[in-house]
Structures are given as structure tokens and as C-alpha cells.
Structure 1
Amino acid sequence: MCAQGVIKIFLPGWLISWRGRATWAARAMIVGTGTATAGSVGRLAGMIVAFSVAPAVVNNDSQEMADAVAEAVRVVRESGLPNETNAMFTLLEGEWDEVFGTIKKATDAVRAVSPRTSLVVKADIREGVTNQLTDKVDAVNRRLAKED
């Protein structure tokens, strides 16, 4: 922890800073390029991200979130990045800037219909690795097939 209650985390090519106490996750801010690990200079980190964005306040009689979530999914699909949507999360694969840019646009789509928005993000960052949306599942299925 740094001065003034700021936690700083260094990832290859990025510095992420969190401010606050109980709500630090909701206040994550990318504050610019930080230190890079050896060998990572000039290369972007490929990643697969599971994220969920939904209105925390619903302004319709049915209290249904589907309309707002559909707008977020539309943004993801229009991004052109490999993606999948299931009952709990949307999975998105690509480079850091394009993935988080898409997540921001999807969040903005939900914020357009709700004054309060919930965002959950989990990322697997692996330099130089692609096709993880299918390759990870295929690896598990191959292992299961060996057991049969």
C-alpha cells in the first residue's frame, strides 16, 4: 500500500491503482503505463476476460435486467472480438486495450439506462496465447475422453 491509501499493482506494461477501502474494486482505475517485466517491452498481453455488467437499479415495472444486459452484449458482439455469453458472464478474448475498451463501452451501454451499475471482471493474461475461448475447453474435454 502506498501513501494516501492507494494500492498499486504492476502488470506487464500497466500500472493499476485502487483507491478507497471497502469499495476499492468498484474504483479501479488504469492510470497509465507502468513498469514492464523483462522481455515484455513492445508486446501486448493477450487475455481472456469473464465479465458481468448489469444495472443495480432497474427502472421498469417488471424489474427485469435483460434489456440493459442485451445492449451490453450487443456492444461486445459488434466489437468483432471472440466472445461467448452464458447465464452469468460474457467471455471476451483479445489484447488489453481492445478488451477493456469493449468492456467500457458495454458498461456505458448499461449506464445509459441505469443510474447505478455493477461490473465484475476476471482476467487470465497470457502473452502470446490466443484461441483460449475454445482451446481451454478442448483441453478439458480431451482429458475427460481419456478417462472414459
Structure 2
Amino acid sequence: MLVAFSVTPLGVGEEVGEAVAEAVRVVRASGLPNRTDAMFTTIEGDWDEVMAVVKEATEAVAALAPRVGLVLKADLRPGVTNALTTKIESVERHLASDTP
């Protein structure tokens, strides 16, 4: 499964980079395939391992903030692996084949 999630510390002011970095540290330490962009971190794995990482990342942010917002989107497709890169490669192939 793929899970895209965003953990937002609330009640800490406008600068949230430090708390968000703690969540990303947890994801990277998990060893699961992952990608972080400006809005979400996406991780790939089975249900239990992915949800455990989301929980731990949320708890890392909660340790630095009085309140936490969590947005999560999941793509559950049994038997599919390496979706983190193959989905992007598919779109890029279609873009490359388009003629203006």
C-alpha cells in the first residue's frame, strides 16, 4: 500500500519545520520506501508497518506541539510493489508520448 500523509504541529507558531523534520526522521529511519515533498510524505509497505510508521511520526510531532493535525490518503492495491516509483514513471511516459 501507499500512504501519503501530512502531520502538522498546531499551537507552535508559524515555524513548523523542526517538528515536521522529526516526523520525516521517523519515516526515513523506518527503512520503508518513501518520498517527501512540500505537502506530504508518501511511504510504501504493508498495512501494519506503514500505519506503525505514521503513528510513530505523529507521536514525534506531538512531543513538540500541544496539538497535531493529521491528513492521510491511502492506495491499497494487493500484490503491487514499487508503486512509489512506477506510478510516477507511468505518468512521465504518457507525458513524453503526448504531441502538442
Class of the TM-score when normalised by the shorter of the 2 chains: over 0.9
1:123-147 CA-partner distances (Å, limit 9, x unpaired) = 0000010101110010111111111
TM-score normalized by structure 1? 0.65
* 1:56 Cα offset (Å): 1.3
Counterpart in the other structure of 1:88 = 39
Question: Per the alignment, in what secondary structure is the counterpart of residue 118 of structure 1?
Answer: strand
* 1:115 Cα offset (Å): 1.2
Whether 1:98 aligns to 2:49 is yes
- For 2:66 and 2:94, locate their aligned partners in 1 and report how far apart those are by CA, in whole Å: 46
Counterpart in the other structure of 2:84 = 133
- For 1:98 and 1:134, locate their aligned partners in 2 and report how far apart those are by CA, in whole Å: 19
- For 2:62 and 2:96, locate their aligned partners in 1 and report how far apart those are by CA, in whole Å: 44
Partner letter of residue 7 of structure 2?
V
Whether 1:124 aligns to 2:75 is yes
Whether 1:68 aligns to 2:22 is no
* 1:76 Cα offset (Å): 0.2
CA RMSD of aligned residues (A): 0.9
Unaligned runs of 5+ in 1: 1-46
Identity across matched positions, percent: 61
Matches within 5 A, 1:1-148: 47-58=1-12, 63-148=14-99
1:103-139 CA-partner distances (Å, limit 9, x unpaired) = 0000000000111000000000000101011100101
Structure with higher RCO (Cα < 8 A, 6+ apart): 2
1:23-66 CA-partner distances (Å, limit 9, x unpaired) = xxxxxxxxxxxxxxxxxxxxxxxx0011000101106xxx3100
- For 2:39 and 2:28, locate their aligned partners in 1 and report how far apart those are by CA, in whole Å: 17
Provide the aligned length of Structure 1 versus Structure 2.
99
Partner letter of residue 75 of structure 1?
V
- For 2:47 and 2:11, locate their aligned partners in 1 and report how far apart those are by CA, in whole Å: 29
Partner letter of residue 131 of structure 1?
N
